[in-house]
A and B are shown apart, each in its own frame.
Chain A
């Protein structure tokens, strides 16, 4: 039966119609989408490799060439094309950010759902873990962890380490959010009804809890993505990235190290900085709008709800 696809399509269409009207949401979507497209089609958008040194006619490396001399964004201290680095860097930044964001979201949702749904001891245990993580300052801890892993020379790519550390530390707020939502949903009568017809925990979580919090998860994922990208940039800026696969943060790190600022080479440090702002702003806008739009609609009952009438009287009388 293909019937089940129809309501979904209807949902999607309704959603798109509402979304199209929202200017901020569209802007956010545009910002994120452009970044993704640049990253995806990077090889098509530049003739160079990110590590390739641009040489002038005499075969000398073209160092610190401003945009007027070379390419759209000039070259860096080693004569590499900044535009090329920027769009290849987008691949690294976005991949690490997205992977880390998804890990965080997954762990956070899992903890939140289990804690909220089962309550009692499970809740206590999971929430204590969350609390502990919550009180330790994130950035210093991540620094220490990444540095330690690197010291151990385990032959793991630094990017994987970064992803894992961000993903496994940055889920606490999500877990709390999801948990509180699950706590209210679990009290609702349709969950009782599901229990009363004999449904098991897994069935209830899958069919009744998840669909209600999915919008929240989606919106929150987008928000967490922006934070993951920011953190990745921060850590990479501090030199914890992979120098052979520069992300935007790594670019900034290079620019800082090679005194791009004192040299006035703005085209070296501004583009990665703006790119970070571009993507995280896009995520935040998109996330906020999604959260607002996907929030489950409150439905009242006609014999009970007087709220609207009260509001009216409050507004009109005196």
Chain B
């Protein structure tokens, strides 16, 4: 099955310059940077769901924002269906075109809707922006269809409401309707359920899953909750400090994690059953800030099985079979 590649990311870097103090400028210190994304490569096939997991601050949101052009990449290549984005040559597509073919769902449904716009305006906005509507009739139809597909039925009840009149789950459905109204090929979903109640979480996950099946849309599913991953991601990429440290088919990675970080992350997901409590591998401390990266393997200061070699050698991803890769000196 060599399905078409929707998205290819090669060696993506995004460094944010730190604000420099006058004193340091005077001393001619090197400008410090936050290495939010530090050499990330991955690809997403048509109709595939790739989950991106990792602790807070590891760079997940920055990747999504860079992909859609909200941040300018410091280095690397982003190919959408084989085409570069925003370049001058004929083989690249414009940023605006990309923003039609790829859509974002942000984390916070309370913040991502304009409080002074009606649901009708919000959902039809992408159509207006890309000049895709024939007339009011057409606009109305398409908004209704999108809302109903997102599970807001009957759509007419919602058209004239304002976001503050909806619950969190309903708002996230509106966001999804607004994204799907353009019939995109790629959906970047940045923690779409982490701010929602448990019972609503399941509904939104099911909705995304249904859209994937009915529309064949590819999804980059960003989360820090590994529990949700098993349910609908085809492949799983684990991030640590701006790098992907392990990637592979979801079932494979969950069953047979190779990177110590993945193992730790999996072990701390609480099971919904007191009988299944097990030993957790709790890493001490927090994700260090990505300004002064450790030498060698960037995980070694927190790694429970680190060796002497880990201080010196920065491991790169090695293939372990079936597309399962891990960046650890112990992974063979």
Residues of chain A touching chain B, judged by Cβ–Cβ distance below 8 Å, are 1, 3-4, 6-7, 188-190, 192-200, 203, 207-208, 211-212, 296-297, 299-304
Contact = CB atoms under 8 A, between A and B. Distances in A.
A192 B129 contact: no
Given A198-B129, A211-B117, 19 more contacts: A193-B104, A193-B113, A193-B178, A196-B68, A196-B99, A196-B103, A197-B100, A197-B130, A197-B179, A198-B130, A199-B125, A203-B129, A208-B114, A212-B116, A296-B115, A299-B115, A301-B108, A301-B110, A303-B195
A204 B117 CA distance: 12
B125 A189 contact: no
Closest 3 CB pairs of A and B: A198-B99, A189-B111, A211-B116
Given A1-B140, A299-B164, A192 B70 contact: yes
B158 interface: no
Interface in B90-134: 95-96, 99-100, 103-104, 106, 108, 110-118, 120-121, 125-126, 129-130
25 contacts: A3-B120, A7-B118, A189-B112, A190-B115, A192-B65, A192-B70, A193-B104, A193-B106, A194-B114, A194-B125, A195-B70, A196-B99, A196-B104, A197-B129, A197-B178, A198-B96, A198-B99, A198-B129, A199-B125, A207-B117, A207-B125, A208-B114, A212-B114, A301-B110, A303-B195
Contacts of A211: 114, 116-117
A19 B253 CA distance: 60
A190 B108 CA distance: 10
Contacts of B117: 207-208, 211
A194 B130 CA distance: 12
Contacts of B162: 7
Interface of B: 65, 68, 70, 95-96, 99-100, 103-104, 106, 108, 110-118, 120-121, 125-126, 129-130, 136, 140, 159-160, 162, 164, 168, 175, 178-179, 182, 195
A195 B96 CA distance: 9
Nearest to B108: A189
Max chain B C-beta neighbours (<10 A), residue from A6, A207, A297: A207
Nearest to B110: A301
B251 to A, nearest CB: 31
A211 B113 CA distance: 13
Max chain B C-beta neighbours (<10 A), residue from A296, A299, A300: A299
A157 B118 CA distance: 47
Given A196-B104, A212-B116, A7 B160 contact: yes
A190 B195 contact: no
B112 A193 contact: yes
Given A208-B114, A211-B116, A197 B164 contact: no
A157 B103 CA distance: 57
B129 A297 contact: no
Contacts of A200: 129
B155 to A, nearest CB: 13
A207 B164 CA distance: 18
A29 to B, nearest CB: 24
B110 A299 contact: yes
A122 B65 CA distance: 24
A304 B112 CA distance: 16
B244 to A, nearest CB: 23
Contact of A1 (B99, B136, B179, B195): B136
Contacts of A297: 115, 164
A300 B168 CA distance: 11
Contacts of A199: 125, 129
B70 A196 contact: yes
B112 A190 contact: yes
Contact of B126 (A1, A198, A207, A296): A198
A297 B162 CA distance: 13
B126 A3 contact: no
B114 A207 contact: yes
A192 B71 CA distance: 11
Nearest to A199: B129
A19 to B, nearest CB: 18
B123 to A, nearest CB: 11
Nearest to B130: A198
A83 B96 CA distance: 64
Contacts of B103: 196-197
B19 to A, nearest CB: 15
A253 B134 CA distance: 63
A11 to B, nearest CB: 9
A207 B116 CA distance: 9
B119 to A, nearest CB: 10
Nearest to A192: B70
Nearest to B167: A302
A189 B106 contact: yes
Contacts of A299: 110, 115, 164
A300 B162 CA distance: 16
